[in-house]
Structure formats: C-alpha cells, structure tokens
Amino acid sequence: MAHIMLTLLIGMVLGVISVASNPSPYFAALGLVLVAGVGCVVLMGHGGSFLSLVLFLIYLGGMLVVFAYCAALAAEPYPEAWGEWSVLGSVLGYLLLVVGAGSWFWGGWYEGMWVPVDELIEFSVVAADSGGVALMYSLGGGLLVVSAWVLLLTLLVVLELTRGLARGALRAV
Amino acid sequence: MNPFILSILLLSLGLGTTLTFASSHWLLAWMGLEISTLAIIPLMSQHHHPRAVEATTKYFITQAAAAALILFASTTNAWITGQWDINFDLHFFPASMLTMALALKMGLAPVHFWLPEVLQGLDLTTGLILSTWQKLAPFILMCQIMPVNSSLITFLGVTSTLVGGWGGLNQTQLRKILAYSSIAHLGWMILVMQFNQQLALLALIIYIPMTFSTFMIFKTNSSTTVNTLAASWAKTPALTAITPMILLSLGGLPPLSGFMPKWMILQELTKQDIPLTASIAALSALLSLYFYLRVSYAMTLTISPNNLNATTPWRLQTTASTLPLAISATISAMLLPLAPATLALLSL
C-alpha cells in the first residue's frame, strides 16, 4: 500500500511540474487532469472516497471542461508542448527544485504519521469525509451560509469584470 | 459602477476582514482573506483601462499565491500538531511558511515587488482602500502567530524599512511614493511585533490616518505626480500649508504623531537588547524622510510660478465632505501629547 501511495504521490508531483513548466494551455489542462485524477486516488487511499468522488465530478467534470473550452477559444497553430526547449528548460528546473526539496526534508522533519481517515473508524462517531459534509448542514450552518455567499460573490465579481463586451482590456472574443 | 454591485462589493470587503478578525480557526481566517481579495478585484479594474486591468491581474495572482501558501501552511500545521486553532502555537516549519505568506499578502520586503506597480495602476480611492483596509486582516493574523522565528521577522522588518526608504528615493509618482512608504511602515510594525503586539497595533493605528490624509489631499488636488502638486498653493492654500505636517508625520519627525510609534518601537527594541537593529531602523527612517521632505518642498516650501489663470483661481466651496480629511489630518499631526493615553488604551 505504501508503494502504491508513493507512486501516486510521485505522479502527482510530476503532474504539477508539467503544469508549472508553462506549456500551451491545452497541455497544461492535460497536466491538471493528471494531477486531479491522481490526487483523487490518493484521497481515496486515505479513506475519503466521497470527497474524491465529489472532486472528480465537480473539478474535473465541471470546471476543467469549462476551462478546456475557454482555452480552445485562444487556440494557436503551433502550441508549445513539453518537448519544446523553452518548456523543457522549466521542467528540468522544477525537477531540480523537487530533488533539492526532497533532500532537504530527507530523514523526516515531522513527528506525525500517516493516519488514513477510516483507520479511526472504531473511535469515531461519524466518517470523516461524508460526516464532514453532513456537519456543514447541521452544526456548521454559519460556514455554509458564508460559503454560499462567497460563491455568489465570485459570480458577481466575474460578471462585473467581464461586463461591457468590447470595452476595456477584457474583451469578448 | 452599478450602486447595488458597489454596495455588495464594499460590504463583502468588510465581511472578509471582519471574518478574519473574528475567527479562531485557520480555515475561516483564510476564507476571510480570500473574500476580501475577491471583493476588491472589480473595484480595482472598474475603469477598465489596460493599466488598471494589469494592476488587478498582478494583485490577484500575488494574493492568490499567498492565500494558497497560508492554506498549505495551516493544513501542514494541522497535520503535525492536530490543531486548527489560531490561539495554539504553530510548529516551526508551517510557522515560517505562514510568516512568508503573510509577508507576501501585506507587501513586506523582500516580497514587496508587486505593491508599487499595483498601487500605480489604481485610482487614488481604490489605492487608499488597498493601503489601509487590506492591510488589517494579514496584520492581525501576523500578530496572532507571534513569537515565531525571530531572525526571519527581524530580517523582514529591517529589509522592509531599508527597501521602503531606498526604493522611494527615485520616485516622482505619488502613488509609488506612498507604496514605498507603506512598505517602510509595515517594516517598523513587523520589527516590534515579536516583542510587543500593542506597539505594532499603535504603529498601524497611527499609520492609517496619516495615509488616509495623504491620499485625500492628493485626491483633492487631483494630482498623481510631484510636479502637479506645485499648482496646489493657489487652489487650496490651507491644505497646502497642512500637507507638510502630514508628510513629515509619515516620516516620523517629532513633535508630530508619526514620531510616537517610532519612539516607542525604538525604546522597546533597546529594552530587548538589540540596539544595532534599532540603529539601522532609525537610520533607514532618514531615507524615507528625505522623499517626504522633497514632496513637501515641491508643494509648500516653493511657490511655483504659473500663468495668471492658475495663480488666481476662484476658490469656491466644495461639495465634497471635508470632515474626514479634517479629522484624520488633526490625528496625524497633533496626537503626540496624548501618547500616554493612547498607549494605555491599547494595552488590551
């Protein structure tokens, strides 16, 4: 299990590097798909299967699809993939950074341990992932209201920023 | 802007900072910071010209990166210590990450590079909100995580005062001058925050009226460069006479109120047995003082020539409210004799 988790986490870091190395948005979205997918599997390995499902549906199936369509509006004839020298330079740089950070933290800087969510299930009243969502609707009502307000605010902010079609620097294509 | 949208944005700006002030959980504090970032974005780009949109984009990217780092640090702290409560001490590693993230949020050196460019792209009112209100929430979080990693905090503080002084020396644009002034003042606040949070709060409470007055004065004169200030002697002679007091108060010159926080901070630093840091901070204030003096020279101490139309304007009564500027200018210039009362009120 530890080997699977290690492989998944390495895959996640490689995916993050593939996004951060600044390729064309198509390929960056592909990298994001990899990161989110692997992240969901990591989350499942820790027992948060419900949260993993919600993340897959909403993030990958909703937001990333919308982003892919928006990126398609700004398509270019010769997109920069990870084979291009400019992107490859960034990839190598970030790989070096990861190796450096890994060697800095080698030997354990933390005193804690991996504790999967469902391991304490005999000592818990609610499962940590779906129970948390249920709590948001009962005791955590205030946080639910604040979160809903933030989402509404984000909508209003985006609408205000893109209002006016052709005027200003944010133009409708 | 549509008045409903404007009210929603301003209220959300208030909500965000209030949420951060009132929270004892790191997640809620982070949410408050994100709400205030989101709410100010349309305010910054409301004039829709490329300079403002560029400033908005830069602001959004830096603040989002800082907020992500705050979330990461608090999650790491929860992983290590099992605590989400702000009142509990942080583990040293997430504490350093949090400090750097909050420094990026506030605009402390060496992560200050976004502040002059962002402030330059905004109009004076939005710049005022950015310089005063947006500093409150990260400041209060910084106060609550003290004491952490003394060398990092001292490094941030001293670098900020030096960068704020040296960076402002070559500026002719008033908004950039005020940006470097903000960096220097925040440096002073950070320097004393590890020893005495009340003095840091005092520095912030004195800094806000001073910056408010400066922005309001520049707005009244509709000037964004030092050269255009040269016409204010004919338009508003009273304001022209008061402005050097405000600017030199920003520079920390006695007997103006700006001297109060610097005096108390230097005293505290000496009591803590770091006189070298105190001397470096005091000498860096000299650098800032030079460019404040230059602005007051251009505005007040020189009666600049102009054509007949500009030297004899009609001085009609303004429809804008003058009370806020009057109050803040009085506070900025004349609060020093009330120093004992102010300090007593702040010992919460």
Report how far residue A167's alpha carbon sits from residue B8's, in angstroms, rounded to the nearest whole number: 23
pLDDT at residue A107 is higher than 60: yes
HSE at residue B109, side-chain half, CA atoms within 13 A, is 24
In which band, very low, low, confident or very high, does the pLDDT at A108 lie, cut at 50, 70 and 90? Answer: low
Contacts with A47 (C-beta within 8 Å, 6 or more apart), sequence order: A116, A117, A118, A119, A127, A128, A129
For residue B73, CA distances in Å to A129, B81, B147 come to 21, 12, 16
Q: Which pLDDT score, from 0 to 100, does residue A86 have?
A: 86
CB contact under 8 A, B48 and A153: no
Sign of CA dihedral B173, B177, B179, B180: positive
Rounded Cα distance, A20 and A82, in Å:
11
Residue B107's DSSP bridge partners are none
Q: Which chain B residue is nearest to residue A116, measuring alpha carbons?
A: B79
Structure tokens given for A88 = 């490859």
Tell me the mean pLDDT in the region A35-56.
89
Is the pLDDT at A3 greater than 90, yes or no? no
pLDDT tens-digit readout, B257-310 = 999 999 999 999 999 999 999 999 999 999 999 999 999 999 999 999 999 888
Asked if A156's CB is within 8 angstroms of B8's CB, the reply is yes
Q: Does A146 touch chain B (CB under 8 A)?
A: yes
- B116 and B180 Cβ atoms separated by less than 8 Å: yes
pLDDT at A169 over 60: no
Q: How far is CA A52 from the centre of its chain?
A: 11
- Contact across the interface for A156 and B31, Cβ inside 8 Å: no
- pLDDT tens digits, B195-249: 999 999 999 999 999 999 999 999 999 999 999 999 999 999 999 999 999 999 9
Q: What is the mean pLDDT of chain B?
A: 94
Q: What's the CA dihedral at B110, B116, B117, B119 to 10 degrees? A: 130
Question: A109 contacts in B (CB within 8 Å)?
Answer: 93
Confidence tier at A121 by pLDDT (50, 70, 90): low
Cβ contacts of B314-317, under 8 Å, gap ≥ 24: B315/B235, B315/B236
Q: What is the pLDDT of residues B154-200, one digit of tens each?
A: 999 999 999 999 999 999 999 999 999 999 999 999 999 999 999 99
Nearest to A169 among B34, B35, B53 (CB): B53
Q: Is the peptide bond before B147 cis (omega within 30 degrees of 0)?
A: yes
Cis amide linkage into residue B237, ω under 30° from 0:
no
* ipTM exceeding the 0.85 mark: yes
